Amino acid sequence: DGGITQSPKYLFRKEGQNVTLSCEQNLNHDAMYWYRQDPGQGLRLIYYSQIVNDFQKGDIAEGYSVSREKKESFPLTVTSAQKNPTAFYLCASSITWGAGTEAFFGQGTRLTVV
């Protein structure tokens, strides 16, 4: 089945630790995205990648880092510099970055700082 796989589903992090969230897609999509979801705030864009080996900051990139070494993979690292990392993280992809293309989402990773 084609789709987007995020792992793990639940992740617990101690303060001061970096953690990496995995996102893999087998849809052959060029563009990939990371969103953060907080209660009552909708989804906010963290980073996006239009093509392999390229990525750009979104609206709330501080404290996060990404890489796009392979078309199908777009991992997100939440660094210790992110002051409030507890949230629900969603990865998405679309055929291209173009405005008319819809994004397809993974099932998300819920990160909790303990």
Using the rule CB under 8 A, is 103 a contact of other proteins?
yes
CA 70/CA 79 separation, integer angstroms: 22
From the CA atom positions of the chain, what is the Rg in Å? 13
Half-sphere exposure in the Cβ direction for 103 (13 Å, CA): 19
- 106 makes contact with other proteins (CB under 8 A): yes
Q: Which of 13, 27, 50, 86 binds other proteins (CB under 8 A)?
A: 50
Where do contacts with other proteins occur on this chain (CB under 8 A)? 33, 40-45, 48, 50, 56, 58-59, 88, 90, 92, 97-100, 102-108, 110
